[in-house]
Homo-oligomer: A and B are copies of this chain.
Amino acid sequence: MPSDETKFLLRENQIPTAWFNVVPSMPAPPSPPLHPGTRQPIGPDDLAPLFPMALIAQEVTTDEWVDIPGPVLDAYRLYRPTPLYRARRLERHLGTPARIYYKYEGVSPAGSHKPNTAVPQAYENARAGVKRLTTETGAGQWGSALALACSLFDLDCVVYMVGASYDQKPYRRSMMETWGATVHRSPSDTTEAGRTHVEHQSGSLGIAISEAVEVAAGDSETNYALGSVLNHVCMHQTVIGQEAMRQMEMAGEEPDIVIGCVGGGSNFAGLSFPFVRRRLRGESEARFLAAEPAACPTLTRGVYRYDFGDTSGTTPLLPMYTLGHDFVPPPVHAGGLRYHGDSPLLCGLVRAGLIDAVAYRQNETFEAAVRFARTEGILPAPEPAHAIRAVIAEAESARESGEERVILFGLCGHGHFDMSAYDAYLSGTLEDIEFSEAEMEAALERLPEAPALA
């Protein structure tokens, strides 16, 4: 019997006290990351120049639950638990018998789910005596989250921001600086990598990663932080799904389908993995649907292979769906979804047939975002607008079949720093960029030699 409430709020003492690790639940253990030189499985020592041992331990653990440290919980209290809403106005607008729920992470000070992992990463680095974290940021969501987290644990934060974004999104930069971070326009003259690519003035995520990693690798008091893809990052995000599960119980509901957008995969992992556990234990029949941009259709069009995590090919090889590590997606406004690969854990579950994927073009995505804003009020970020597009399709199919489907989706951030994209959509100048099969074929030919995956 569904509740007649619209908003489901937990008390502070209901913030999860452990992160959920999906690895022990997986039908097959994930293939290990490989050293880019030796092609042998990497060990903790290979990661030690960049990450503190506590995070490396989280990256490789096979424990199902990992306790959340007290100071991390203290910082989570600044914005967690986040609300779960029933989208009653959207349901009415669609005339659907489906009941639609969304977990809203935009209430974090940085405006997205990213602080869920930025906070524990900053904490573990501070505890290990590190003084400074470096990272890269494209659209600015991740850089903002890390700047916030570093301000809470008294760490210096240095962000290499992709040149084009730095110029187009000055307010994201101001936000990071307000939290005390130093923001460099990448390519910068502060690193060898930046100086070598000085001719690529608009920059790229690949160059920005190289700059951030170079600084961290060259200074023992400086580490590097990554905002998605890795196992420990996905694990940190599972506070989302654990809270959502409790809130869906308050709502008197069990989801028939869980929907989220996918860039590197951490948002989708965070919401869905706790529900995937239930499904794998035979306690639920829920389906899972990952929504991605048609301009960067990793899960729907990529190949399942070992590939580098970065564009320049210096990171470990990861087992994942990939469009080729040197595939440079067009500048779609959903900057957080422009990644050539995806989290190996998420890819493994897609490969195992547990998670489906669908890709949408920009204009249909923004059309969904505007419908959502005009019914539910909240202005979604372009990334979760892909999930909203998928939700509307599900709700419309429920209307056609007359089914009382229960839909849960992740609204992982607001769009307050993406209004220029809304402006482009409303004025009819947003382009539906086509994914180029030819370009990808070329990129796939440059995939690194590595063992085949099952």
Is A377 a contact of B12 with CB atoms below 8 Å?
Answer: no
Find the B residue at minimum CB distance from A180.
B374
A356 at the interface (CB under 8 A from B): no
Q: Does A7 reach chain B (CB closer than 8 Å)?
A: yes
Does A38 sit at the interface, judged by CB under 8 A? no
For the complex, count residues of A whose C-beta is within 8 A of B: 45
B-side contacts of A178, CB under 8 Å: 370, 373-374, 379, 419, 422, 426
Complex contact B423–A174 (CB within 8 A): yes
A419 cross-chain contacts in B, Cβ below 8 A: 170-171, 174-175, 178
On whether the beta carbons of A377 and B78 are closer than 8 Å, the reply is: yes
**Known: A13-B5, A77-B7, A89-B152. Is A373-B179 also a contact (CB below 8 A)?**
yes
Closest chain B CB from A422 CB (angstroms):
5
- Chain B nearest Cβ from A176, distance in angstroms: 10
Contact B170 A423 (CB under 8 A): yes
The CA-CA distance from A79 to B7 in the complex, in Å, is 8
A111 to B107, CA, bound (A): 11
Cα–Cα distance between A323 and B139 once the two chains are bound (Å):
44
- A270 CB to closest chain B CB, in angstroms? 19
| Number of chain copies forming the complex | 2
Cα of A76 to Cα of B423 in the assembled complex, Å: 27
* CB proximity to B under 8 Å, residues A141-164: 148, 151-152
Cα-based distance from A276 to B438 in the complex (angstroms): 70
Q: Is the CB of A420 within 8 A of B6?
A: no
Q: Is A281 interfacial (CB-CB < 8 Å)? A: no
* A252 part of interface (Cβ distance < 8 Å): no
Looking at the assembled complex, report how far the CB atom of A141 sits from the nearest CB atom of chain B, in whole angstroms: 13
A257 to chain B, nearest CB (A): 24
Chain B residues contacting A175 (CB-CB under 8 Å) are 379, 416, 419, 422
Q: Which of B12, B171, B180, B420 contacts A174 (CB 8 A)?
A: B420
For chain A, residues 66 to 120, give those with C-beta under 8 angstroms from any C-beta of chain B: 74, 77-79, 85, 89, 107-111
Residues of B within 8 A of A109 (CB): 373, 376-379
- Is A130's beta carbon under 8 Å from chain B? no
Nearest CB on B from A61, distance (A): 29
B5 touches A78 (CB 8 A): no
Interface residues of A (CB under 8 A from B): 5-7, 9-13, 74, 77-79, 85, 89, 107-111, 148, 151-152, 170-171, 174-175, 177-180, 370, 373-379, 416-417, 419-420, 422-423, 426
Question: Beyond A174-B426, A177-B426, A416-B416: 14 further Cβ-contacts under 8 Å?
Answer: A6-B74, A6-B77, A7-B78, A78-B89, A78-B376, A107-B107, A109-B379, A111-B416, A148-B377, A151-B373, A152-B377, A170-B423, A171-B423, A174-B422
